[in-house]
Structure formats: C-alpha cells, structure tokens
Amino acid sequence: MSLLKPDSCRQCYGACWGMSGYVPADGDGSSGCLMVLEAAGSDEAASGKPTTGKAGHYLWSQLKRVNIEREGWRIHNVLSCQPGPKNLLAKMPYEHSVISSCAPLLDATIADMRERCKQNSKTFVILALGKIAFKRILGISEGSPILKVDTYCYPIWSEQYGAWVLVAPHPSFLMRGNNHLVGILQFAAKRALSGSEYVSGKLWKRARARGVIETTLPLSNRVARGLLSVAIVIAGR
C-alpha cells in the first residue's frame, strides 16, 4: 500500500503528482554507507521502499554477484516520490524546484546517518548512483568542471555533509545497453563498504589533508588514480 506524503510536500510542485506514493529512506545503515539514487519509480511508489522496482532488482542482483547484499545499507532517493507519470526528472522544467523542495528530506537522512556512523565508529560514505544524485550531493550544477573528468569510484570529500562521496552509474543507465559498466558499480560499492569498514577513512583523510580531493577544488585525475591504487592495496589486506 502506498504511503502518504508528509504535509511539507504541499509546498512542492510534486504535490500535483498526488499526495500518495511517498518513499522514505530504508535500511539501517549499519555498514556506514548511504546509497543515494535519483527518484522513486512506480513500483517503489506503490511499495514505499526504494530500489524495489526493475532497476532496483537489477542493482541488487549485480551487487550480489560480488557478494554485496542490501542489508547494512541505508538507501534514499534525491526525490522521495515518483516524478510524474513518465518518471522524468533530468532536464524537466520542474527539476530544480522539486530537488530543492525535497532537499530537507534527504538532508535529514544524511544527518541521521552521520550521527549513526559516529556512534558506531564508522567512516561515513555516500555512494551516489547517477549524475542527478552526484550533482545533488556535491551541490554542483550542470556546467561544473568536476563533471568533465572521470569521477567514477574516486573518493571526494564533502565538507557540507562530513562524508566521503563515491559515484557510480545509475542502474537504469546500465540497463539501457551499458552493462559493460557494471564492474564500475560493483567496484564503487565494494570500495564504499571497505572505506567505511576497513580503511576507517585514514587514507582518504590524509589525502584530504593534502588538499588533493575537495569538492571545491578541480579534481586531479592523476592524483585520484594514485589514491585508487593505494586504496585497492589497503582494501585487499
């Protein structure tokens, strides 16, 4: 049965899509990792749970192939509802307005996760799947230089959220003939889990202290590639 949207949704353009079909965050986040995707689809809107539609099943089946389960993740979408009957968000006239109206819901999940990570001595890692989620988490716009470099799987520090951010392709994109990129999704998810669980963020923190990975600075591909190799060694211990 679909959930009712909170009253705050009445101020949002998305209210015209109906006042039911709300999809709040799901999962206990005990791994220290928050997965952020774009928006709910019709299956999620009906069940009230993120990643339960076709793309969600594809996502978890691909992660299962590398022994990653849903358990332990916290999952939330940039939009906590389904964006209109056609599921369209990117480049739609309402894109920026609904994303900013929905921001307090995702921000509350992020703040809650940061607190849970502190209590459980985890390094807080956000895995953003797809460009919409990546832009939203880093607070960048379409023309940002960081979007012009290969950022898949590289840890980027978010001062705003006190979290390491990794990005990987959205499962819907992979399903549209891009399944050769599944390995990137699997590696990014593994890296998020190992960064939170095993590395305890020390390696990434040292890199941050040297100022090589900040959201406010242009990302150096060369340095990030170096970090990637070191992190693989650490995670493989």
Binding region for ligand SF4 (CB under 6 A):
5, 9, 12, 14-15, 22, 79-81, 98, 101-102, 105
Enumerate residues 6+ apart whose C-beta is below 8 A from 35.
51, 73, 74, 75, 76, 126, 127, 129
Q: Which residue is nearest to ligand SF4 (CB)?
A: 14
Give the nearer residue to ligand SF4 in terms of CB position, either 15 or 228.
15
Give the nearer residue to ligand SF4 in terms of CB position, either 133 or 166.
133
Contact 76, 34 (CB under 8 A): yes
Give the nearer residue to ligand SF4 in terms of CB position, either 110 or 185.
110
Enumerate residues 6+ apart whose C-beta is below 8 A from 11.
101
What type of residue sits at position 45?
Answer: A
Give the nearer residue to ligand SF4 in terms of CB position, either 35 or 39.
39
**Min separation Cβ 13 and ligand SF4, Å:** 7
Contact 168, 129 (CB under 8 A): yes
Give the nearer residue to ligand SF4 in terms of CB position, either 93 or 143.
93
**Min separation Cβ 80 and ligand SF4, Å:** 4
Please count the other Cβ atoms lying within 10 Å of the Cβ belonging to residue 123: 21
Half-sphere exposure in the Cβ direction for 212 (13 Å, CA): 17
**Min separation Cβ 223 and ligand SF4, Å:** 37
**Min separation Cβ 210 and ligand SF4, Å:** 38
- Which residues sit opposite 34 in a β-bridge? 74, 126
**Min separation Cβ 36 and ligand SF4, Å:** 14
Return the structure tokens found at 105. Answer: 């819901």
